[in-house]
Amino acid sequence: MGTRDRLIDSTRELLWERGYVGTSPKTIQQRAGAGQGSMYHHFTGKEELAEAAIRRTAAEMRAGVEAQLTVPGTAFDRISAYLRREREVLRGCPIGGLTQDPDVMGTPALRAPVEETLTWLRERLTRVIREGLDRGELRPPLDPAATAAALVATLQGGYVLARAADAAEVFDQAVAGILALLAAHATGW
């Protein structure tokens, strides 16, 4: 792994652990094993590096979601697999957690990949739900966009509840609850 990649990966981890303000260039450099000159050779500053880190995290998240939502099975099965996938629940969502960081949300270049990713996730889940309705796997009345928004809100809220309780089981309860509601619209249940 080259210096640029080490800087990005170190920043990704630090943003997830500490947020934007708590992630200093010096800490990034130390974790990456890179000098100040190397950092500024690859990036104009902390903001550009943070944007690259957020975009890489977002790309990995999208690839993982896409892999789970394109496997064979019904719409309910695919959504269930995505919601129940293994996660580091008590660390929170590496993208969703950034919405709580006022410096990220107040900086257009940093906010953009967060907003784009959460919008993409809602739209991707909307398509899966719509496919399920079209194939007769899900029964109306079920609004695909509203249901997708509820799924994403449950995931993000589940992270918050689990972190507050210091118990991953709370996240699992939130997922089980939203899946029970979705199952009421699934055929064959």
Average pLDDT, the chain: 95
Do 124 and 69 contact (CB within 8 A), yes or no?
yes
pLDDT at 188: 72
- Please give the angle made by the CA atoms of 47, 11 and 2, to the nearest 5 degrees: 105
CA dihedral sign of residues 53, 54, 55, 57:
positive
Question: Which tokens is 16 given?
Answer: 């997830």
pLDDT of 35 strictly over 90: no
pLDDT at 25: 94
User: Rounded to the nearest 5°, which phi and psi values hold at 186?
Assistant: -85, 140
Does the domain made of 54-183 have the CATH classification 1.10.357.10?
A: yes
pLDDT of 36 strictly over 90: no
pLDDT, tens only, 76-134: 999 999 999 999 999 999 999 999 999 999 999 999 999 999 999 999 999 999 999 99
Question: Which tokens is 21 given?
Answer: 């303000």
Contacts 24+ apart (CB under 8 A), 36-44: 38/3, 38/7, 39/7, 42/3, 42/4, 42/7, 43/7
3-state class (DSSP) for residue 139: coil
pLDDT at 116: 98
pLDDT at 128: 98
Mean pLDDT of 144-166: 98
How many whole angstroms separate alpha carbon 110 and alpha carbon 84? 28
Do 47 and 110 contact (CB within 8 A), yes or no?
yes
- Total-model pTM: 0.94
pLDDT of 68 strictly over 70: yes
Do 152 and 90 contact (CB within 8 A), yes or no?
no
pLDDT at 189: 58
Q: CA dist 132 to 101, 129, 139, 184, Å?
A: 36, 5, 8, 13
Which of 178, 95, 97 is CA-nearest to residue 142? 178
